[in-house]
Amino acid sequence: MRVLNVAEKNKVAAQVSQLLSGGRCRQTNSCATYCKIYEFPFQLQGQQVEMVFTSVAGHLLELEFEPRVKGWHSCAPRDLYDASVHKGVPKGENEKIRRNLQQLARTCQWLVLWLDCDREGENIAFEVIQVCTEVNPRLTIRRARFSALIYADVARAINNLALPNEHEAKAVDARQEIDLRIGASFTRLQTLLLQNKFDWSEYAQDGRVMLSYGPCQFPTLGLIVQRAWEIQAHIPENFWYIQVLYRDGPKACEFQWHRKRLYDQAVAAMLHELCIAAPLATVTAVEGARKTRWAPVPLSTLEMQKRGSQYLRMPGERIMRHAEELYQQGFLSYPRTETDQFDQNYDLRGMIEAQAGGGAPWSAYAQRLLAPESQLFRWPKPGGHDDKAHPPIHPLKHYPGGDREKEALFEFIVRHFLACCSKDAEGQETRVIIDIGGEGFTATGLMVTERNFLEVYRYQSWGGQDSLPVFQQGQTFMPAAIDLKQGTTQPPPRLTERDLIAKMEEYGIGTDATVADHIQKQLERGYAIKDEASMQFSPTPLGEALISAYRKMGLANLWLPTLRGVIERNITAVAAGQRTKDSVLAEAVAAFRTDFEAAQAQSHILEQEVSAIVFGGAPPQQGANHGGPGGGGPGGGGGGQAFGTCRDCTAQLQLVLNQEGPPSILCSAFPMHRLRIDLPRCTQAVAVTDQLCPSCGHGPVKQLSFRFRPGLLPPGFPPALTCCVVCNQDFKRLLEIVGPTRRAAPPQQQQQQPYGRGGGGGRGARAMQAAASGKQVERLQLLLLSKRLAAAKDEHAALKAALYDEIDAQRESKKAERLRAKLQQLALHEAAINRRLCFGVPPGWESSDSQASSSQASSSAGAAEAFSWGPWQAGTEVTYATAQPASNGGAAKPQLQVTHSDRPVRLQRSSQPFAIGGLRAAFYAQDEAGGRFVLKRTLLESSRLHKRVKEVHADAEAAALSSAAAEAFSAALRGKAKVSYLAASVVVLEDAGCSGGKAVYLKEPWMASSASGKWVKWSRNDGHLFAEGEGCSTIQAFTHFSLHWLGKQLGCPAIVLDAQGILAGTHFTLTDPAVCTADQRYGKPDMGLYAITAFLAAHTCGPECKACACAGTGL
Q: Which residues are catalytic?
A: 334
Those residues whose C-beta lies under 8 Å from the C-beta of residue 524, and which sit 6 or more positions away, are none
Burial class of residue 866, CB neighbours in 10 A (0-12, 13-18, 19+): exposed
Backbone angles phi, psi at 737, to 5 degrees: -75, -50
Beta strand residue intervals within 580-651, DSSP E = 641-645
Cite the DSSP H helix spans in 622-686.
none
Give helix 301-311 / helix 515-524 axis angle, nearest 10°.
50
Of the candidates 8, 216, 16, 214, the residue with the CA atom closest to the CA atom of residue 119: 8
- Cα-flanking dihedrals φ and ψ of residue 63, to 5°? -80, 130
Do 121 and 334 meet the contact criterion of CB atoms below 8 Å apart?
Answer: no
Rounded Cα–Cα distance for residues 658 and 679 (Å) = 13
Query: How far is residue 640's CA from residue 484's CA, in Å, rounded to a whole number?
Result: 44
The C-alpha atoms of residue 87 and residue 63 are separated, in whole angstroms, by 4
Identify whether the C-beta of residue 1066 lies closer than 8 Å to the C-beta of residue 979: no
Query: Are 1067 and 998 spatial neighbours (Cβ–Cβ below 8 Å)?
Result: no
> In 235-312, where does DSSP find H-type helix?
265-277, 301-311
Closest CA to 111 of 258, 6, 247, 14: 6
Q: Collapse the DSSP code of 358 into the 3-class scheme (helix H, G, I; strand E, B; otherwise coil) and give the result.
A: coil
**Nearest CA-CA partner of 485 in 234, 238, 252:** 238
**CA dist., res. 653 & res. 673, Å (int):** 11
Contacts with 978 (C-beta within 8 Å, 6 or more apart), sequence order: 970, 1066, 1067, 1068
Q: Which residues of 260-275 are buried (b: 16+ CB within 10 A; e: fewer)?
A: eebeebbebbebbeeb
| Residue 909 CB contacts under 8 Å (≥ 6 apart), including other chains | 845, 846, 847, 848, 851, 923, 924, 925, 935, 989
How many Å apart are CA 363 and CA 369, to the nearest integer? 10
Tell me which H or E stretch contains 507. Answer: helix 497-507
Residue-by-residue DSSP string for 21-70: HTT--EEE--SSTT--EEEEEEEETTEEEEEEEEE--S-SSEEEE-GGG-
Closest CA to 974 of 1062, 1063, 888, 886: 888
The helix or strand, by DSSP H or E, that contains position 805, with its residue range, turns out to be helix 789-809
CB–CB of 654/643 below 8 Å? yes
Phi-psi domain of 339 (left: phi exceeds 0; alpha: psi -120 through 50; beta: other):
beta
- Residues 266 and 749: their CA atoms lie apart, in Å, by 34
Q: What are phi and psi of 54, to 5 degrees?
A: -150, -170
